[in-house]
Structure 1
Amino acid sequence: MSAKSPDLLAPLDLAFWALETADHPMHLGALGVFDADGPSAAEHARELLAARAAGVAGLRMRIAGVLVPVGGAARVPAADFDPLDHVGLSAPVADFHAAAGELMRRPLDRGRPPWEAHVLPAADGASFAVLFKFHHALADGLRALTLAAAVMDPVAPPEERRRATRRTPADGTEAADAERASGPRLPLPGMRAVTLDDLDPRRYPGHLRSVLGGAAQALAIGASVARAGVGVRSSPALTSTATGTRRTAGVALDLDDVHRIRKVAGGTVNDVLIAVVAGAVRRWLDDRGDGSAGVEPRALIPVSRRRPRTAHPQGNRLSGYLVRLPVAEPDPLARLRAVRAAMDRRKEHGPSRGAGAVALLADHVPPLGHRLGGPLVGQSARLLFDLLVTSVPLPSLGLKLGGSPLTGVFPLAPLARGQSLAVAVSTYRGRVHYGLVADAVAVPDLDVLAGAFAAEVAELAEACRAR
C-alpha cells in the first residue's frame, strides 16, 4: 500500500465520530493519579508527556473526510501537529475528580488529532494527576491504553524494549507496514479488492451465503433489541436531558475483597463487579428518595471483538451483552446470583447475538448512512439501554511518569445522550477502580453514589462471612 493510502475509519469508528455534537462530547478518558517525587513533579510530567507524544505516530493522526467511500473518513497525519497544543498544566487543584469533570465537558478539537492530556497538580504538592482524553474514533479503550502507555516511563531494559517494539509497536505503525507488505489495504471491513478468483462462478454461492448471513444477523439483532425494550423498569434518575455538563467521581476498592466474595458466591470477578454496580445504584436511588422498588435497568456491557494482527489494528471492534441489573432485589447475594445467571446466558449465546450486539449493526450501514443518521442514532441510545457498564484492562506492571509512580487509574466512559450516568471499571495493582461519569445537572449527588460502592462491597463480604 502506498504511503498516500488513507487509514479509513472502520464502521463503528465512523459511527462514534458522527454521533458527537458540539453540545454533547463523546470522548472517553482516564484519570491517573501519581505520587509526586518532588515539588516540580507535575511540571516535569508535562514536559515528558509533550516530548514523548511527539514520537508516537498514533497521536499525530487527525480525522479527515475522504471522497471515496462517500461519507467516509480516515486517520491522516496532521501536518501542523504540536504536542504542546494537546498537553496542558493546570493550576493546583484540591479535588482531581472535580477538575476532571470540568475538563471532560469540553469537546475535543475535531480539526486536530482528537486527544488531550491535562496535568493536574495537587494543592498539597504530594501528588498529581493526568487526565487523558481520547475520541473513540481515534482509539477505543484498549487502543487508548496503548497510546497512553507509550508516553509513560520505560518498564523494561532498553534492548528488551527495542525487541518488543519491533514485534508489537505501541503506535501500531510497524505492524501496519507488515500488513501492507502482505497485500493491499481493504477499503472497509466487509469489503475487499476484486481478484481473478472472484470471477470463478463456483465462488458465488459462498458470497451469497455470506450476504444472507449478514442480513439474517442484522434482523436477529434488531428483533432482540425490540424484545429487550418490552417491560423495561428503569428509573428517572438514569434519564437526563443532555446538558453537556459533566461530573466525575472515583472509587478505589480492595481487589482481595472481591476475590473473597467470588470464592464464596461463585461466578467471575466481573460478575461481582457488575453486582456491586447494581447494589450501589440501589442504595443511591433509595438515599435520594427515588426508590429502587421494581427497578431493573438495562446495562450494556461492551465486549471487545478485536483479534490480534487484524487488518485494522486501530478500529473499534465491539459487541456487548445487555443485562437487566437486579436493582430491586434487596438481598446482596441474590443480586450477585441474578447477575451471574444473566451473564452466563449471554456468554452461552455469544457476543454476536442478542440486543447487546447492536454495535455490530454499524458494519451493515454504508459510510454516508453513518454521516446522515448519526444524530438520529444518538437520540435513540436511551431506547437501547439505560446504563453503560464497561471494563478497561490495565497492565499489572507498576507504571511511572518521570519517576513518579502511578497509584491509581480511573477509567471514564463516554456518556450517551439521554442518559445521566456511565460506569467504567479497571483493576490495577491489587485495587479495583470505578470511574463514574454523570451529567452534572442530572446527578449533583454523584459523591453519594460513589460512597455506595464501598458500602455494597462491605455488605457482600459480610453476607459471605455469615454464609
Structure 2
Amino acid sequence: MHRLNGEDAGFLHMDLPGQPMNSMVIGVLAGEHATLTLAELRAHLDSRLDELPSWRWRIVGVPGDLQPPVAVRDPDFDLGAHVREVTVSGGPAELEAWFASLAEEHLPTDRPLWQVWLVTGLDDGSQAVALKFHHALADGAGAMTTIARVFSDLPFDPLPPVPGHDGRPFRAERVPGRLRLLVGAVVTMLVMLLRVPWLVVRTVRAVRRVRSERLGSGVDVPQPSAGAPRTALNSLGSPHRAYVRASLDLADLKAVKTAAGVTLNDVVLAVVAGACERHLASRGGVPERPLLASVPMAAEAPGAPVRQFGNRFWSFTTSLATDVADPWERLQQISTVSAAAKRRLELLGVDLVADWLDVLPPFLAKQAIRGTLERMADPEQDVDASILVSNVRGPAEPYSLGGRVFGDLHIDGPPSNGVGCNVMVWSYGQRMLLGVLAYADVLDDPQEFRAALTDSCAELVELARERTGRPAA
C-alpha cells in the first residue's frame, strides 16, 4: 500500500462534474504495414506492466479526507478492462472529435485510473492509439516515462526502487478496511505535524528572498492568482470538450529563438500569444491588460532518478504580452517576464507549495478548490490565468511498435478551474507538436485555432528571417 502525496490528491479533488482531470495522448500509426491488432496491443502492454507500477493501483479514499488516498495493488486487476478497441469513421477532424468526447468522460474509480484505446476504421486506413490516465497518477516527468513505454518497444532499464514501487514482482494486496485507513491516517498526520515548524521557517525565508528580488529586478511579474482579465478563453464546468492538433517545424522555432536571443519556451509562448490574439479578435476582443499563461515547472533537480508516477511540480504565471502590438517586441517582453517569473518561483522553492500540500489535510485542500471555483463563477472577478501552456522535450526519433511508426504523437492535458484551454507542446523528431484540449464553448472552431497557431508561428519566422537576412529552415 502506498499513500499518494498532497499534489496527487489535489488532482483527485479537482475531478468534478464537467471537469475530468485526464491527461491524454494520441498517436497515429503511419505506413501501409502499420496494422496493429488489439491482441498485439494488449500483449505489448502486458509486457510493460512491471515498468508501469501505477497502472495496477486502485485508489482508495480515506474516511473524512484526513489524509490523501492510498494506492493498493488491485486484487481484481483485469488488463482487458483497460485496453479496448473503437471504430471511428472519417478523417483527422473525426478522430479529433472522438478524442474530445473521450476527454469528457471520467475514469471509473473502481479500478486503476487509465485506459488505452486502439482506433480503427479511419478513411485512409491508418490506426491510432489513445492513452488516457488520471493526472493524479503522474505529472510531466512521470508521463514521459509512461509514454515511452506505451508507445514504443524500446528496451529500458528497470525503474529504481522508490516508495510505491519496490521493484519486486507484482503481488496483489487486500483493499484496506475503514479502521486500518483511519489508524494509518492519524499516524501519518502526527508524523506530518513534525514537519510544520521547518516548513514555516522555509516559507518565511522564501518570502523574504522573493521580496528582495522583486525590489531589485524592476520587472512586473504577474501574481499567481486572480490577475488575468476574464475573456472568451475562460469557462467553468462545461461538460463538452473540443480538441485540435497542430504541427510546427522545430527548425523554424529554433531559428526564431536564435535570432531573438530567447529560449525555445519563450518562442512557444509567443506563438500561443499570437494565436490567442487572433482567436479573441472576433470573440469579445483582446483586453487592454495582457493575457496570462500558467506554465508548469518541474520541482526535481537535473539528474533525478527516472520515475513513472507522482506529481512534483508547480507553475509560474507569466505575461503573454498581448498588450504589445509588435510580435517581435511581444516575444522580447514575454522572455523578460518569463525569466523573472521562473526566478521568483525558484526563490520561493518549486516544491514549497507541494510540501505544504503534503502536510495539510485534504479536506482543507477541497475547501480551497471550492473557493477557487466560486471565484471563477463570478463574472466580475479576474481569473487566475488565460490559458495553460506546457512544453516538454520529447524523443529525437519517432516511437514505434514492432516496426510500426507513430508518425504523429500528441500529448494533452485537461482544462480546469476556469482556465478553458490547455496547450501541451513537445518536440517529436524534427517537429514541435501541439495538442489543444479545451472546453467546447472556448474552442468553438478548433480548425480556426490551429490555423491561428500556424499563422502566428509563420509571422515570427518571417520576422526572424528579416533580422538575420537568411531564409528560415
Q: TM-score, normalised by structure 1?
A: 0.81
Q: CA deviation at 1:403?
A: 2.4
| Residues 243 and 446, structure 2, Cα contact 8 Å, conserved in 1 | yes
Q: Give the whole-Å Cα distance in 1 for the aligned partners of 2:147 and 2:222.
A: 39
Asked whether 1:82 is paired with 2:78, we answer yes
After TM superposition, list the pairs within 5 Å mapping 1:256-275 onto structure 2: 256-275=251-270
1:299 match: 293
Q: CA deviation at 1:345?
A: 1.2
* CA displacement at 1:410 relative to structure 2: 1.4
Preserved contact between residue 400 and residue 406 of structure 2 (Cα < 8 Å): yes
Q: Which moved more, 1:443-452 or 1:385-394?
A: 385-394
- The structural deviation recorded for 1:233 is 5.5
CA displacement 1:204-247 (0-9 Å, x = unmatched) = xx98555333366589999x9x9738994535211223212111
Contact map agreement 2:153 2:402 (CA 8 A) in 1: no
> Residues 222 and 317 of structure 2 are in contact (CA less than 8 Å); yes or no, is this contact kept in structure 1?
no
Q: For 2:334 and 2:228, how far apart are their aligned partners in 1?
A: 16
1:281 to 266, 276, 279: 276
Name the CA distance, whole Å, in 1 between partners of 2:111 and 2:338: 40
RMSD over aligned Cα, in angstroms?
Answer: 3.8
- Cα contact 2:422–2:436 (8 A) shared by 1: yes
Aligned equivalents of 1:376 and 1:175: distance in 2? 42
Task: Report what 2:14 is aligned to.
Answer: 19
CA 1:45–1:451 in structure 2 vs 1: closer, same or farther (change >3 Å)? Answer: farther
Trace 1:310-349 onto structure 2 (pairs within 5 A). Answer: 314-349=309-344
Q: 1:246 to 1:134 in 2, by over 3 A?
A: same
1 CA distance for matches of 2:308 and 2:191? Answer: 16
Hey, what does 1:430 align to over in structure 2? Answer: 430
Q: In structure 1, what residue type is equivalent to 2:332?
A: R
Q: Which sections of structure 1, spanning at least 5 residues, go unmatched?
A: 1-5, 178-184, 195-205
Q: Which residue of 2 aligns with 1:198?
A: none
Report if aligned partners of 1:49, 1:87 keep a CA contact under 8 Å in 2: no
- Summarize deviations over 1:397-445 as a string: whole Å, max 9, x none: 4311232112222111111132321111111101001110111133211
Please give the secondary structure, in 1, of the residue aligned with 2:257. Answer: helix
Query: How far is 1:75 from its partner?
Result: 1.3
Show the 5 A alignment for 1:299-448. Answer: 299-307=293-301, 314-351=309-346, 353=348, 362-363=357-358, 365-380=360-375, 383-448=383-448
**Aligned equivalent of 1:73:** 69
Structure 1 stretch displaced more, 82-91 or 369-378: 369-378
Partner of 1:197: none
Assess, with a 3 A threshold, how the Cα gap between structure 1 residues 311 and 434 changes in structure 2: closer, same or farther. closer
> C-alpha separation between the residues in 2 aligned to 1:69 and 1:241?
25
Q: How does 1:185-264 map to 2 (within 5 A)?
A: 191=191, 208=197, 210-214=199-203, 217=206, 228=223, 232=227, 234-264=229-259
Gapped regions of structure 2 (runs ≥ 5): 171-183, 215-220, 377-381, 468-473
Per the alignment, residue 26 of structure 2 pairs with: 31
Give the alignment partner of residue 167 of structure 2, picking from 167, 174, 180.
174
Amino acid at match of 1:421: C
Structure 2 CA distance for aligned equivalents of residues 231 and 376 of structure 1: 12
Corresponding position of 2:179: none
1: CA distance between counterparts of 2:246 and 2:144? Answer: 20
Query: Which range is displaced more, 377-386 or 387-396?
Result: 377-386
Task: Quote the offset at 1:59 in angstroms.
Answer: 0.8
Note the C-alpha offset of 1:372.
5.0
What does the per-residue CA deviation read over 1:45-100, in whole Å, with 9 as the maximum and x for residues that have no partner?
Answer: 54345533555432111211246982421111111111111112111332321111
SS in 2 for 1:292: coil
Distance 2:189 2:125 in 1: 48
1:148-163 equivalences under 5 Å are 148-156=147-155, 161=156
Q: Are the counterparts in 2 of residues 12 and 362 from structure 1 also a CA contact under 8 Å? A: yes
Q: Say whether 1:60 aligns with 2:56.
A: yes
Shift of 1:260: 0.8
Q: In the alignment, is the contact (CA less than 8 A) between 1:282 and 1:328 conserved in 2? A: no
**Quick one: distance in 2 between partners of 1:10 and 1:207?**
16
Residue deviations 1:306-334, cap 9 Å, x none?
A: 34667997321112211021123221111
C-alpha change, 1:175 and 1:141, in structure 2 (3 Å) is farther
The 8 Å contact of residues 351 and 357 in structure 1, kept in 2 or not, is answered as no
- Give distance in 2, aligned partners of 1:220 and 1:348: 11
Give the AA of the match of 1:213.
R
SS in 1 for 2:88: coil
Measure how far apart 1:351 and its partner are.
Answer: 3.2
Name the counterpart of 1:124: 123
Distance change (3 Å), C-alpha of 1:231 and 1:31: closer
Match of 2:158 in 1: 165
Classify the secondary structure of the residue corresponding to 2:440: coil
C-alpha distance after superposition, 1:111-135 (max 9, x if no partner): 2111111222252354222221111
Task: State the TM-score, normalizing by the size of structure 2.
Answer: 0.80
Q: Distance in 1 between matches of 2:259 and 2:191?
A: 49
Q: Paired residue for 2:114?
A: 115
What's the counterpart of residue 176 of structure 2?
A: none
- Secondary structure of the structure 1 residue equivalent to 2:87: coil
Q: 1:267 to 1:418 in 2, by over 3 A?
A: same
Amino acid at match of 2:24: G
For 1:16 and 1:411, locate their aligned partners in 2 and report how far apart those are by CA, in whole Å: 18
Change (3 A) 1:69 1:176: farther
Q: Is the 8 A contact 2:267 2:331 kept in 1?
A: yes
Residue matched to 1:458: 458
Q: How big is the shift at 1:12?
A: 0.8
Give the corresponding residue for 1:3: none
**1:232 touches 1:296 (CA, 8 Å); kept in 2?**
no
Q: Which amino acid counterpart does residue 82 of structure 2 have in structure 1?
A: H
Larger deviation, residues 129-138 vs 422-431? 129-138
State the identity %.
24
Conserved 8 A contact 1:323-1:343: yes
> In 1, are the aligned partners of 2:299 and 2:351 still within 8 Å (CA)?
no
The amino acid of 1:88's aligned partner reads R
